[in-house]
Amino acid sequence: MPQKVLRVELLSVTPDALSVIYAAFRQCYYVGFAGDMWQKLLSGEIAKEKQAEFVQKTLESGHDSPVEHVSFTFAVEGISRACSHQVVRHRIASYSQQSQRYVTDTMDYVMPPAIARIPEAKARFEAFMDEVTSAYGDLKEILETHGRMSKANEDARFVLPQASETKLVMTMNVRSLLHFFNLRCCLRAQWEVRAMADQMLALCKQALPPLFMTAGAKCEALGYCPESPKFTCGKYLTREELLGERD
């Protein structure tokens, strides 16, 4: 089972994303029809800078539902099944994940950095991965000789660990992405899903800067930690600590 490295690729973004969001926002406050301004948006008659400024100011007011009209699609590899189980908890999204039932040629894995840094921990982890690979192959062969044939791998896979590498394609709208980054870019998020979120955010910032330049952990936008003092990472004061200082 070879060790895999995280890789995130941005496959697609809704065309004319900024203009779509601008039109959606404007329709909420505009007596006319957003469709009538569409060509002005595309032609540049309504400048991109003006569109970006309006969108940013409206978002700052707390009105964010129109950003749902734009979505991003990513391809991700080199994450563990443990990580993918965290990712799919974000329900306003679409996922297509590599099947352990049908993809049986390789069983790669992800090693936590904390284990990789300690020679004896790394050696034990790698030895166990070898044991799992051997057990998977043995079980698959035994099941095939007992008539399971092409179905053998769907039962043998039960021995595979959460470290098993997986690949997925995922689509999220901008509102869901902003929420995802609020939670998963936080220093208290688990290291692997945070690394994935950081790569996704970097791609989003390149593709649509007006929407994502200030995105990230919730504390970055708030200026304080929304966690309780018991759970804060310490980067920012908590709300309770700020109020205590004022008192």
Which pLDDT score, from 0 to 100, does residue 16 have? 97
pLDDT digits (tens, 9 = 90+) for 125-171: 999 999 999 999 999 999 999 999 888 989 999 999 999 999 999 99
CA distance 54 to 13: 21
| 184 is a catalytic site residue | yes
Which pLDDT score, from 0 to 100, does residue 177 have? 98
CA distance 56 to 79: 33
**Residues whose CB is less than 8 angstroms from the CB of residue 246 and which lie 6 or more positions away in sequence, other chains included:** none
The pTM of the full predicted model, rounded to 2 decimals, is 0.92
228 within 8 A of 244, measured Cβ to Cβ: no
Chain-centre distance of CA 82, in angstroms? 13
Instruction: Give the CATH number of domain 1-110+165-216; options: 3.30.1360.170, 3.20.20.100, 3.40.50.300, 3.40.50.1100.
Output: 3.30.1360.170
75 within 8 A of 167, measured Cβ to Cβ: yes
Residue 247 pLDDT greater than 60, yes or no: no
Read off the pLDDT band of 3 (50, 70, 90).
confident
**Residues whose CB is less than 8 angstroms from the CB of residue 85 and which lie 6 or more positions away in sequence, other chains included:** 162
Mean pLDDT of the chain: 93
Element (H, E) at 13: strand 7-13
Residues 110-115 have a mean pLDDT of: 96
Chain-centre distance of CA 20, in angstroms? 23
Catalytic residue among 26, 157, 184, 194, which? 184
**Residues whose CB is less than 8 angstroms from the CB of residue 194 and which lie 6 or more positions away in sequence, other chains included:** 184, 185, 186, 187
Task: Give the single-character DSSP code of 16.
Answer: T
Which pLDDT score, from 0 to 100, does residue 234 have? 87
Every domain of the chain and the residues it spans: 1-110+165-216, 114-162, 218-247
Length of the chain: 247
Which pLDDT score, from 0 to 100, does residue 2 have? 67
